[in-house]
Structures are given as structure tokens and as C-alpha cells.
Amino acid sequence: MNKVSFIFPGQGSQFVGMSKELSNNFTVVKRLFEEADDTLGIKLSKLCFEGDPDDLLQTMNAQPALLTASLAAYYASREILELEPQLLAGHSLGEYSALVCSGFFSFQDGLQIVRKRGMFMQQTLVNGVGTMVAVGNISVSILESLCQEISTDSGIVSIACHNSDNQYVLSGHKEPMSRIVEQINRLEHSKVNYLTVSGPFHSILMKPAADKLAVELRKFPLRKGRWPVVSNVTALPHDEFTIYDLLYKQMISPVRWTDTMDYLYQNGIAIALELGPRKVLGQLMRERYPSISTFSVNTSSSFKEVEQWLSKRQTTRKVTLECLEEGFAAALIARNRNGDYKQHMEGVVYPSQQIRNWINQLQDNKNDTVYDAVNTEVLELIRTILTTKQVPEQEQQTILNMI
């Protein structure tokens, strides 16, 4: 199955200049940023295109900026690419981008929610006591042991993100974090990197902000989403009854991105488009599942790369369809050794009619899900025709090898 997923980056991916090229080349993107400016009453477009990096780093600015940049990539892609997603997912703040893209929240409501979310987070950060650290080349069991060993009631550190089997993010108070970092640095091949974020996100230290967000969320109506969105908390698709509760929990719970990638793979995702600045999620996906064709889409040139891949795919599909038709023709002209009229009607005539109808559909249908399902069904019907005709096994295999 060649299903498509759209994935959306989280805070930390923002940079001054993001989406400017898209705004210059796509009217829909220019209007999207104008709408964001009007909705929030600030010049979000200027902040993204040519603002002060320190201003963009502030959580209350970074979150609506990233949401808008991700939606800009989505709307621009719709004008060029013919891809229909089956699953959406986003990392941390990116989960909101996914929910807005799917339609669970309107763009205007989504902007106001993440602006408030960012404000609540900043209000919770007292005197810069919290921090986040990315660590690599260390097992999750060792990290859990270190967090448990060093954390106290007044100094907490916990795992905030499971990004891959080789990359985690810790979140918590600065003092115990420095002691954990010191111990990690003693381990051979370990990697440590303090993140440029303004607080200890996805930890219990965010509970005051989460409590305020829970009240704020209820002010915004939920709509029916067009595509399923995978939750950071459960690594399973949201339903309309739990979205508010899971978005509350998301602020104080670890991001289960590794499990999310596993869910996408296990549900047949073969193409993933990262919509938004930088290439963080795309790189994580390529490392874990090289078989998934992954593209980071945030400039006009990145769309061309996807277009070229789709063009090659269309050529491959054309060849596959030709082989399918050749195999079908060979099955029809194969000698019939079965004299039972009823069996011939049920096992040869009717399947042949179905195959002709479905091959006609495949010639016009660009939906990969339909294509793969019908392709598999046609192959099984050809097997039925050959078996019903009592074609020798070796001849059957020769015909099937043509497909």
C-alpha cells in the first residue's frame, strides 16, 4: 500500500526567513500570512520573514509562526502536488498544525490557541529555572534511571521526547539537569546538546500552563477532521471525544514520536511529506524507515523534487499496468482443460469482466490506495482464471511472472 502522510515540525525548527520565498511565489501563502497578521493583531509575517531571532524564539511568537509556516507549505503544495494523505502527525506544536490542516480547528482558532498556549508556557517559566537537553547514543533505560536517581521533589528531570531509538530529549530544572548532563558526558560516544527553547516543555513543570490551556481550549469549537491525526500522547489517531483532554496531557507528557513513526509505517505509509521549516522529522523518518519516501517541503524547489519523484512513479505504474494487461491476455488465450460450463462462467467469464472494468479504472485513477488494492485484486482474479482452466502449474507461473 502506498499511503501518504503529512508530518509537521515542532518548536525549535523556526528561523528568520522561513516561508518568505513561498510568500513571494504563492498568492495563497501571502494571503495566509495576511490572515495571521489580522487574526493575532501583530506583524507575524514580518517576524517570520525578517524579524529579530530573539523575538521569534519567544514561545508565544514561535508557536503561531510555526503553525502558519507549516500551513503555508501545505497550501502551496496543494497547488502543485496531487497527493491525498491518509494520516497526519505533528511533533509537539506540530500536532496543532496537523489538527488545523485536517480541519479539526479553523486556522484562525488554531492561531489563537497556540498563541495562548505559548503565553501560558512563558508565564509558567519563572527566572529561567527550566531547560531542555537533546541526548544521543544512550539507551532509554539509562536515561530513565538517571532521571529517577537525580530528581527530587524540588528538582525534576524527565524524558520529554522519544524522537528515535538513538535520540531523546530531557526536560526539567536546570540544576539537576546539569548533574545528569555531567554523568552522560562520561559515557563513551554519548552526545548532549542544550536546546534553544525557553522552558522545560513536556514535563510536569508545565502543569500550571496546561491547566490554563484546558480552560482556553473549550472556548474553541471542534470540527470534523478530514484526515486522522495521530496524538503525541497515545501514538494513535485522535477521536472527537478526547482531543481536548489529550492536548492538555500533551503539555505534561513525553512526545511519543518513535511510536508515531511506527504507527505510520505499520499502517502502510510509504510517502511522508514534512510540511514546514527545516528537515528534522524527515531525517528521523529516513533513519528509522528508509523504505518510506520522505520529503521536506518548504520551498518551491522542494516541490519540484517531489514532482520528479511522482513523475517517475507514474512511469513505473504505466509499465506495471502494461504487464498486468499482458498477463491478463495470456491467461485468456491459455488452453482451457475444464469442460464444466458453470465453473467456466464463475471462474473465467465473470472474473474476466471484472478485470476489464478494473483495468479501465486503473488507467484513469491516480489514487495510490485504489491502485494498489485493485492491482492486487486483478492479480488474484488472474490466478482464479488460470486455476479454473486447469492450466499446468509451470505455465501458470510463467504467466504470473509476466505481471
Q: Which residues does the annotation mark as catalytic? A: 92, 202
CB 87 within 8 A of CB 237: yes
DSSP-derived letter for residue 335 is: P
Cell 495562548 belongs to 116
Nearest by Cα to 247 from 233, 226, 230, 259: 233
What whole-number distance in Å separates Cα of residue 186 and Cα of residue 181?
9
The one-letter amino acid code at 200 reads: P
The one-letter amino acid code at 8 reads: F
What whole-number distance in Å separates Cα of residue 95 and Cα of residue 8?
7
Transcribe 292-349 into DSSP letters.
Answer: SEEEEE-SHHHHHHHHHHHHHHHHHHHHHHHHHHHHHHHHHHSPP----HHHHIIIII
Transcribe 168-180 into DSSP letters.
Answer: EEEEEEHHHHHHH
DSSP-derived letter for residue 26 is: -
CB 6 within 8 A of CB 99: no
Give me 180's grid cell.
545528569
What whole-number distance in Å separates Cα of residue 301 and Cα of residue 148?
47
